[in-house]
């Protein structure tokens, strides 16, 4: 972790105050004054501010049941950020793991642990995400087979990775994906001549959505550890 991030996570100072303290030589790493705010620090380093050892706040891991017309961004845009629904301290330290469109609802993971979120989003982890998809037209057997095999999306050079489609009704399926391309679900159904009318994420890896709309909760240790390597 960068020194400025470490100090930010360990004190109540804001970013400017942290940078000022480092520049003014008030921060020591293993008893050496370090004035480079980008200096990398490690778990076994002793980091001190004005001679007092700093201990970072533990990482936080949350899930939220996103409703429509909220955006997966730290700042409000055309719609409000979903972080407005979470009333905890130092909210600006959190980030959203993998985005949902403004009109998509369901499971969103939120954390301040960059390594953990990288484990969920990096392609080689092949973390499964399950979406409940409502469709404008009845789905055909051929479409299911194309989606499951992998399909070329407009403007891309590689077909999608194999997916799993679970039939619920003619116009409702569960789709399990191990990648996360831009608007992937909507584009996959468009590619087979259909249209998504409602999209809801129910599961990421082993984590299942079990809070009501707009409600959040902390993840259990087991849920957090299911993504650690």
> Among this protein's residues, is 101 annotated catalytic?
yes
Q: Tell me the per-residue interface mask from 198 to 217 with ligand URA, x by CB under 6 A, - otherwise.
A: -x------------------
**Catalytic option among 85, 101, 103, 214:** 101
DSSP conformation letters of 34-94: ---TT-B--TT--EEETTEEP-PPPP-EEEEEEPTT-BSSSS--SS-BGGGG---TTGGG-
Shortest distance in whole angstroms from residue 147 CB to ligand URA: 13
Question: Residues 37, 2: contact at Cβ < 8 Å?
Answer: yes
Shortest distance in whole angstroms from residue 171 CB to ligand URA: 17
Shortest distance in whole angstroms from residue 185 CB to ligand URA: 3
Q: How far apart are CA 146 and CA 139, in angstroms?
A: 11
Q: Which is nearer to ligand URA, 1 or 102 (CB)?
A: 102
Shortest distance in whole angstroms from residue 129 CB to ligand URA: 8
Q: Which of residues 124-183 bind ligand URA (CB under 6 A)?
A: 183
Q: Which is nearer to ligand URA, 41 or 185 (CB)?
A: 185
Shortest distance in whole angstroms from residue 9 CB to ligand URA: 30
User: How far out from the chain centre does Cα 215 lie?
Assistant: 17
Size of the site for ligand URA (CB under 6 A): 8
Is 184 a residue that touches ligand URA (CB under 6 A)?
Answer: yes
Phi, psi of 185 (to 5 degrees): -65, -45
Q: Which is nearer to ligand URA, 29 or 63 (CB)?
A: 63
Q: Which of residues 77-116 bind ligand URA (CB under 6 A)?
A: 100-101, 104
Q: How far apart are CA 3 and CA 41, in angstroms?
A: 6
Q: Which is nearer to ligand URA, 104 or 160 (CB)?
A: 104
Is 65 a residue that touches ligand URA (CB under 6 A)?
Answer: no
H helices, E strands: number in the chain: 6, 13
What is the arrangement of strands in the sheet containing 27-29, beginning at the earlier edge strand?
A: 32-33, 27-29, 47-49, 52-53
Strands 164-169 and 172-177: antiparallel
Bridge-partner residues for 177, per DSSP?
129
Binding site for ligand URA (CB under 6 A): 100-101, 104, 183-186, 199
Q: Which residues have a catalytic role annotated?
A: 101
């Amino acid at each position: 972790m960068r020194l400025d991030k470490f100090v930010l996570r360990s004190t109540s100072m804001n970013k400017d105050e942290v940078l000022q303290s480092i520049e003014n030589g008030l921060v020591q790493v293993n008893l050496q004054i370090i004035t480079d705010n980008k200096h990398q620090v490690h778990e076994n380093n002793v980091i001190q501010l004005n001679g007092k050892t700093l201990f970072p706040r533990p990482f936080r891991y949350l899930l939220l049941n996103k409703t429509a017309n909220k955006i997966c961004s730290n700042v409000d845009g055309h719609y409000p950020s979903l972080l407005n629904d979470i009333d905890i301290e130092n909210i600006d330290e959190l980030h959203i793991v993998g985005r949902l469109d403004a009109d998509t609802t369901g499971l969103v993971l939120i954390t301040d642990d960059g390594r953990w979120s990288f484990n969920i989003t990096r392609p080689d982890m092949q973390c499964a995400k399950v979406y409940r998809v409502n469709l404008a037209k009845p789905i055909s057997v051929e479409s299911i087979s194309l989606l499951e095999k992998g399909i070329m999306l407009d403007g891309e050079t590689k077909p999608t990775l194999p997916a799993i489609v679970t039939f619920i009704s003619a116009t409702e399926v569960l789709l399990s994906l191990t990648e996360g391309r831009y608007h992937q679900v909507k584009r996959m159904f468009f590619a087979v001549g259909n249209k998504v009318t409602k999209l809801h994420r129910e599961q990421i890896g082993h984590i299942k959505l079990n809070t009501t709309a707009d409600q959040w909760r902390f993840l259990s240790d087991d849920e957090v550890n299911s993504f650690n390597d």
